[in-house]
């Protein structure tokens, strides 16, 4: 087996300098997001790791899909009765992280999560394909189930019962908006001297910009 210590890569694709960044991290995130999208069109640029503190006191991370971002924050959707949903209701402190290897970039966001208004969850649910809508109803997310057939049989039942009918959003499914309190941008550089710029939210709604050692 190859020694993992022998895995080496030199990061040389870009740089992140204070004289070439905006005052607002959302603007820089927007720029990076679309640059990566153009660079890696086959990947899921909106895939992000969501880290929460579980009801058992342990941190847990999992990959979900970012569905919207703007000056208010970052939105994703989930089952509110799932492990992550319950964790975020009890402790809304959350960390989101993006890893974009094609661009040798990472973004790490610390923030506070809150449920989106019902109308936002309704509008997004209505935009989903029918199969995805039924999947949200079928799956008792994070609960133990007996086997795969359990889900498939429930899906068939729902397909029959909702045939030709509108599929409503379940009350226990919807969005979380993560309002950032800090956003760190990481750009790989040669010799492991990576660029790390962190934006920290201030009380006057401006952002403090600092460089971190790699």
Given 128, 192, 196, 211, the catalytic residue: 192
Report d(CA 94, CA 87) in Å as an integer. 10
Asked whether 136 and 79 are in contact (CB, 8 A), the reply is yes
Both tokens assigned to 178: 């993560």
Residues β-bridged to residue 173: 79
Asked whether 31 and 23 are in contact (CB, 8 A), the reply is: no
Radius of gyration from C-alpha coordinates of the chain:
20
Transcribe 148-185 into DSSP letters.
HHHHHHHHHHHHHHTTTS--PPPTTEEEEEEEEEEEEE
78 in Cβ contact with 52 (< 8 Å) = no
Q: Is 148 a catalytic residue?
A: no
Q: Which residues are catalytic?
A: 192
């Amino acid at each position: 087996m190859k020694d993992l210590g022998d895995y080496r890569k030199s990061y040389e694709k870009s740089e992140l300098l204070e004289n070439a960044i905006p005052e607002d991290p959302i603007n820089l995130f927007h720029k990076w997001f679309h640059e990566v999208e153009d660079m890696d069109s086959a990947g899921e640029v909106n895939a992000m790791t969501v880290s929460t503190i579980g009801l058992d006191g342990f941190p847990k991370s999992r990959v979900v899909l970012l569905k919207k971002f703007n000056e208010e924050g970052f939105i994703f959707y989930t089952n509110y009765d799932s492990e992550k949903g319950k964790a975020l209701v009890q402790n809304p402190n959350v960390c989101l992280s993006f890893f974009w290897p094609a661009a040798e970039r990472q973004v790490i966001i610390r923030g506070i999560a809150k449920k989106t208004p019902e109308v936002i969850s309704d509008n997004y649910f209505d935009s989903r394909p029918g199969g995805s809508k039924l999947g949200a109803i079928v799956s008792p997310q994070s609960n133990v189930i007996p086997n795969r057939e359990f889900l498939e049989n429930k899906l068939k039942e729902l397909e029959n019962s909702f045939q030709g009918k509108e599929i409503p959003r379940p009350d226990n499914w919807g969005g979380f908006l993560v309002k950032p309190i800090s956003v760190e941008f990481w750009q790989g550089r040669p010799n492991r001297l990576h660029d790390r710029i962190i934006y920290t939210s201030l009380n006057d709604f401006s952002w403090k910009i600092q460089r971190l050692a790699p």
